[in-house]
Structure formats: structure tokens, C-alpha cells
Amino acid sequence: MSESPEYTYHELSKMTVAELREIASGIDHPAVRGYTQKRKPEVLAGICEALDIDTHEHHEVVGIDRGAIRRQIKEWKLKRDAALEAGDHAQLKFARTRIRRLKHKIRKNLR
């Protein structure tokens, strides 16, 4: 196997079939055999297997403390349940809104 640059799954998935086949031509592994006849998903999977690249993209939360926000969500869920049992619709609506905004804050910071 020749010197190959480090690739990520995301970088490889953005490449064209021709570029992937060019990369596969430099790899001697059973997973990429027949790369000239395969379609993009098959070539991509073979390259990932041959180079031991994880095919699952991991998202990480950047810029915020996810654990602290999750704890706040749990607290607000308890307040929401208490408001529901007490029949306090104003507090119920407020708690649901806070939960929704905190969840949005986590999703917004995914990368």
C-alpha cells in the first residue's frame, strides 16, 4: 500500500466517482477490487473499509456545555409535570417553551 493522505468519510462522500476510483486504484485491498465497475456508494464503502475509516459521521456539540443544558431540561420537565397536575396552564406553557428553547440551543450548536 502506498503513502496515502488521511481522508474522512465526509471528504470522501463529497468526491466524484472518478476521484474515488482514482484513490481506489492506489489501494490493494479486497474491498476495492473491481472498483472500475462499481458505483459510487460501493466504491466509497470499499475505500472506507480498506483505509479503516468510520462510515458513521459523528456530530459534536461545540461552544456550549451540553450536560448543563440537559440537566436544565430535566428540571424543566419536572416543573412541566407539576404544572400539568396542578392545572396551571400558564406555567405549563412557560415550561414547555423553555424545554423547546433549550433543545433548540443544543441542536443549533451541532457540527
- pLDDT tens per residue across span 22-68: 999 999 999 999 999 999 999 999 999 999 888 876 677 778 899 99
Identify the H or E element spanning 71: helix 66-86
Distance between CA atoms of 9 and 42, rounded to whole angstroms? 13
Extents of the domains making up the chain: 9-50, 66-108
- Name residues whose C-beta falls within 8 Å of residue 34's C-beta, 6 or more positions apart in sequence: none
Angle made by CA atoms 5, 11, 15, in degrees to the nearest 5: 100
**Once rounded to an integer, what is the mean pLDDT over residues 106-110?**
87
Predicted TM-score (pTM) of this structure? 0.52
Confidence category of residue 5, pLDDT binned at 50, 70, 90: low
